[in-house]
Amino acid sequence: MSDQKKHLMTYEGVKKLEDELEFLKTVKRKEITEKIKVALGYGDLSENSEYDEAKNEQAFTEGRIIQLESMLKNAVVVDESEISTDTVTVGSIVKVMDFEFDEEVEYTIVGSAEADPMNFKISNESPVGAALMTKKVGDTIEVNVPGGISKFEILGIRR
């Protein structure tokens, strides 16, 4: 199964996934087992919505555990000491001028598994992240985004 996608991640991203996996395997599984036990006590399973809900939650949780284990197994951790400040790479913190909104914004470029756009952590596979990759300070890029074309100038790159 060498067809598995490798997930580029920062150490912080790997730690976050490991913490979630540990929580699901220890705490969440026990909570669901208790819910199932309680629901079984209500009798007839054919009309037992509590039982159905607990079983659905169990299926979702087990699916997420499998997903997290796969992501961690295929994680490629970016060594932060090797992150260049000359060009944009995964792990870089990039300060850009967003011409559409006429403001400076700082994005952290991360792997797709740890993207969190609301906290300015954008994936290297997203339109803006992909356009920033390998660029240098002073470069200007134009990116096709769902709302049209956005234009950015790279003002700084740091770790």
pLDDT digits (tens, 9 = 90+) for 7-56: 888 888 899 999 999 999 999 999 999 999 998 888 787 788 899 999 99
Is 1.20.120.1200 the CATH number for 92-158?
Answer: no
Distance CA 85, CA 148 (A): 29
pLDDT, average across residues 54-61: 96
CATH no. for 7-77: 1.10.287.180
Residue in 69, 78, 91, 71 with CA at minimum distance from that of residue 158: 91
Distance CA 123, CA 9 (A): 10
Q: What is the pLDDT of residue 3?
A: 58
Helix (H/G/I), strand (E/B), else coil: 48: coil
Is the full-model pTM beyond 0.95? Answer: no
pLDDT bracket for residue 1 (50, 70, 90): very low
Residue ranges per domain, the chain? 7-77, 92-158
**Domains 7-77 and 92-158 fall in the same CATH topology:** no
91 versus 60: which is more confidently predicted? Answer: 60
